[in-house]
Amino acid sequence: MFVTIEAHEYHKYPILMDRMFKLRKEVFSDQLDWDVSVDGDYERDIYDEKMPAYLVWCNDDRTELYGSMRLMPTTGPTLLYDVFRRTFPNQVSLSAPGIWEGTRMCIDQEAINAVYPSMEASRAFSLLFLALCECALDHGIHTMVSNYEPQMKLVYRRAGVKVQELGRADGYGKRPVCCGVFEVSEPVLAAMRTKLAVSSTLYHKNGVHNDPLEVAA
């Protein structure tokens, strides 16, 4: 299931929160070699102190984490502005109530394959992105600004995502990091559902529900 975890309920999901910060360390520090703040087995930065919302992909019991990302409004302090303003100041100063920032998007391929053995990383990312679009749209958000690896562009395009690359920066890791604007709208959602062959809603606000991926995978 895909759910959000916000500051008033961090304490309810200690296992997921703990695993998320570990996964981020494995992905962003160990695999991508980004210059992120690592503390032991965890990657956590000052933006995690600002009570952000996290979109997490987990099992129905909320004990196994499959993927996560961090959501922050661009009306507040944002990572992309602080980190990228020297590289492309033009683009990352975007700020308005309906524009949100998505960062630290990552998946746990092993955990995913334990439940969905044949699911490839590109599909997993696409599903997480579809859940993000549903979540954003459900909250009146019309635009996401996000950073991503260059090879993700193809994945996004195949998934029906509408992205405009604003710029890319070197020196953050093994590969350049792109920054892009993503349209969030009913037409984009419909296109993604068609391309990914997912007919049901992935993102759920509350409660337990049937796993739509059982049908869609």
Nearer to another protein, 75 or 200 (CB): 75
Q: Which amino acid is at 159?
A: A
Task: Output the 3-class SS for 123-154.
Answer: HHHHHHHHHHHHHHHHCCCCEEEEEECCCHHH
Quote the least distance from Cβ 71 to another protein, whole Å: 7
Q: Which residues bind another protein (CB under 8 A)?
A: 4, 6-8, 10-11, 50-53, 71-77, 89-91, 93-99, 135, 139-140, 142-143, 162, 164, 166, 181, 183, 205-206
In single-letter form, the type of residue at position 166 comes to: L
In the complex, minimum distance from the CB of residue 58 to another protein, in angstroms, rounded to a whole number: 18
Q: Smallest gap, in angstroms, from Cβ of residue 94 to another protein?
A: 5
Least distance in Å: CB of 6 to another protein? 5
Closer Cβ to another protein, 29 or 91, answer by number: 91
Tokens encoding 191: 């296109």
Comparing CB distances to another protein, the nearer of 12 and 158 is 12
Minimum distance of another protein from residue 59's CB (angstroms)? 21
Rounded to the nearest 5 degrees, what angle is found at the Cα of 37, between the Cα atoms of 164 and 203? 50
Between 121-138 and 186-196, two packed helices, what is the crossing angle to 10 degrees?
150
Contact (CB, 8 A) for 80 and 145:
yes
Minimum CB distance to another protein smaller for 86 or for 205: 205
| Alpha carbon distance 89, 84 (integer Å) | 7
Distance separating alpha carbons of residues 114 and 152, to the nearest angstrom: 23
Nearer to another protein, 153 or 175 (CB): 153
